[in-house]
Structure 1
Amino acid sequence: MKVSVIISNYNYARYLPTAIDSVLTQTYPNFEIIIVDDGSKDNSREVIAQLQQTAPDKIKAIYQPNQGQGAAFNTGFEAASGDVIAFLDADDVWQPQKLQRIVEEFNRSDVIGVMHLLNNIDGNGNVVNGGSTVGQLLDDNLAQVIVDTGNAWCFPPTSGLAYRRKALEKIFPIDCSKWRLCADGCLIYCTAFLGKVKTLNEVLGSYRIHGANHYINYSTNKSEEAQALAGIEMTNRYINEFLEQIGHPYRVNLSRNLQYRRTNYYRRGKWNTKEVIAISNLILGWRFYSLWERIYYLMRFWMKSIRLLAHPDVSVNETAA
């Protein structure tokens, strides 16, 4: 079983050697590396050329004008020849057994995707946040999770994703105007409705947190908050359009999305009894909260809501204490 490793790169020349080396040292030998440089302005082209010299039979480089991650994924997928497509961000790294482990799972004919956990590391490769992992262990019916939560759940980022080529053929090419950023979300949400996606309770790589990579340290000023809500809405439309396209009976409803609904309520800044009850029920039933977390977030939500009732002109946001 051949694995195509797609690496989209934009101005990450300083991290590329480590990322590439983590693939070249895999215990599983049957792979190819496709680097799509998306119009980098640093010395990425020079670095890629040097890396190709070390493994010319393994590394293929494609250069294109800057178009975003979605377009880079499209280019990489078109060039890939593997039975399995694995994605690696240019600033992340894999552990040596990563490909071996996912291939073992893909040897089961009913599995169309494999996800795994990732450590958080800093720019120097040191584990941060107490070694906490990105993502959550889920059952194989990922489609039901997406429907139940209105597409609100914490999934592994790009470097923890791999899919069977035949499944991705139903998704690619993706709309690169809508998925210029965070194109991994498109893959995760759409593949979930095509078959069994296995989540491994294993750390098989590391997600690098650094100055140019701020998504994990998301702050909610009004502009970013509005962009986040617009992104959720776009994602929801995209999922449902895809489901209609493939004739799937499920549809995803944002009324079940706790993050979206709670943030919208705070932004409106006005007490609404019906909405308070509905959001409270979502918190109490949220499958990713422990019992104590449900109690904590319910109390927190009610304290903020009471502030709105008592002082309707006071601005309340998701990050307020």
Structure 2
Amino acid sequence: MKFSIIISNYNYARYLNAAIESVIAQSYQNFEIIVVDDGSKDNSREVILKLQEKYPNKIKAIFQENQGQGGAFNTGFQASSGEIIAFLDADDVWKPNKLQQIVEVFQQPEIVGVMHLLEEVDSDGNLLTTKSPKRYKLGEDLAKIVIQTGNAWNFPPTSALSYRRSILEQVFPIDPVRWRIWADGCLIYSTAFLGKIKTINLVLGGYRIHGANNHASAEVTSEQITKALLGVEMTNQYVNEFLENINYPHRVDLSRNLQLRREQYYQQKTWKFGEICAISRLILGWRFYYWYEKIYYLMRFWAKNLNIYFRNNFLYSKKNTKQFAE
């Protein structure tokens, strides 16, 4: 099996060498690397051309005006020729045995996609924690999970994704405007309804945490939360359109999405007993939580609600007292 490795790059010149060299060092060598530079303004072109000169039989370089991640994926897929398409972010790296592990899973004809674990590393490639990477409670029927959880995100990111070309031909080209960022979500949610996706609990790469990527900040602003919620709604609309196009019998209902529903409730800052009970039921039935996490998050949710209740009643009482005094 031949792999096509699609690397979308935008201003990550400082990490490109590590990313590409981690592919070159693979124990499984039947692959091509397609680097799509998405209008970088740093010295990415120079770095890419030097690497292409160093490995002329392995690297295909494409330079285009900035279109976002979705547009870069479209370009890379169109230029690819492999039976298996694997994605690697330009700031991430792979373990030397990544492709060998993946190709063994793809020997099973019913498997159309493979995901795996990533460990977090810093800007210098050093491991950030000694804890084991998060394991995903996913079976091979991702479609069922997506429907049950309302498109809730609990999946590994771009650099852990690989799919059969034949499956991605039913997904590409993707909308470059709606998927300017987070295009890995488009791939995961769409392919879930096209066949069996295997998640292997092996660490086969490093996800780099640094100041320039979308997940680096420990503090999340209200603006980022609002943007994320809009992103969930857009994703849901896109997925349901896709399901309609492939004549899938079911649609995704966002009311089942615990992450979205809980955050929307918090933003309202209003005590609503019916919604509290509904969200509590979602927490207790949430397939992505272990039993002890369900207890923890349920207690945390109720603690926040009690805070909302007493704060609102205090403000109401204070307002009435002021009006009476006037």
TM-score (norm 2): 0.94
How far apart are the structure 1 equivalents of 2:25 and 2:200? 21
Corresponding residue for residue 227 of structure 1: 227
**In 1, are the aligned partners of 2:117 and 2:205 still within 8 Å (CA)?**
yes
Moved over 4 A (4+): none
Corresponding residue for residue 4 of structure 1: 4
Residues 3-37 of structure 1: CA deviation (Å, up to 9, x unaligned): 00000001111111111111111111110000000
Corresponding residue for residue 101 of structure 1: 101
Counterpart code for 2:61: A
How far apart are the structure 1 equivalents of 2:275 and 2:253? 16
Q: Higher mean Cα deviation, 257-266 or 291-300?
A: 291-300
How far apart are the structure 2 equivalents of 1:20 and 1:164? 21
Corresponding residue for residue 61 of structure 1: 61
Q: Aligned residues: percent identity?
A: 60
How far apart are the structure 2 equivalents of 1:207 and 1:282? 30
Q: Higher mean Cα deviation, 207-216 or 16-25?
A: 207-216
Corresponding residue for residue 177 of structure 2: 177
Q: Higher mean Cα deviation, 305-314 or 293-302?
A: 305-314
Specify the structure having the higher radius of gyration (Cα): 2
Corresponding residue for residue 272 of structure 1: 272
CA RMSD of aligned residues (A): 1.5
By how many angstroms is 1:151 displaced? 1.1
Q: Higher mean Cα deviation, 230-239 or 207-216?
A: 207-216
SS at match of 2:270: coil
Corresponding residue for residue 206 of structure 1: 206
How far apart are the structure 2 equivalents of 1:257 and 1:53? 48
**In 2, are the aligned partners of 1:119 and 1:131 still within 8 Å (CA)?**
no
**In 2, are the aligned partners of 1:38 and 1:72 still within 8 Å (CA)?**
yes
Residues 55-95 of structure 1: CA deviation (Å, up to 9, x unaligned): 10110000001110000000000000000000000111111
How far apart are the structure 2 equivalents of 1:290 and 1:101? 28
**In 2, are the aligned partners of 1:120 and 1:131 still within 8 Å (CA)?**
no
Counterpart code for 1:43: N
SS at match of 2:201: strand
By how many angstroms is 1:220 displaced? 3.0
Corresponding residue for residue 215 of structure 2: 215
How far apart are the structure 2 equivalents of 1:264 and 1:5? 38
How far apart are the structure 2 equivalents of 1:21 and 1:177? 31
Unaligned runs of 5+ in 1: 316-321
By how many angstroms is 1:133 displaced? 2.1
Counterpart code for 1:29: Q
How far apart are the structure 2 equivalents of 1:233 and 1:129? 33
How far apart are the structure 1 equivalents of 2:144 and 2:39? 38
By how many angstroms is 1:218 displaced? 5.4
By how many angstroms is 1:307 displaced? 2.0
Counterpart code for 1:90: A
Aligned pair in 2 of structure 1 residues 137, 301: CA closer, same or farther (>3 Å)? closer
Aligned pair in 2 of structure 1 residues 152, 72: CA closer, same or farther (>3 Å)? same
How far apart are the structure 2 equivalents of 1:137 and 1:93? 24
How far apart are the structure 1 equivalents of 2:235 and 2:109? 29
Residues 218-238 of structure 1: CA deviation (Å, up to 9, x unaligned): 533221111111001001111
Aligned pair in 2 of structure 1 residues 137, 28: CA closer, same or farther (>3 Å)? farther
Query: Counterparts in 2 of 1:183-198, with a 5 A limit?
Result: 183-198=183-198
Counterpart code for 1:146: V
Corresponding residue for residue 45 of structure 2: 45
Q: Higher mean Cα deviation, 237-246 or 134-143?
A: 134-143
By how many angstroms is 1:304 displaced? 1.3
Unaligned runs of 5+ in 2: 316-326
By how many angstroms is 1:309 displaced? 2.0
Corresponding residue for residue 74 of structure 2: 74
Counterpart code for 1:73: F
By how many angstroms is 1:306 displaced? 1.8
SS at match of 1:202: strand
Corresponding residue for residue 298 of structure 1: 298
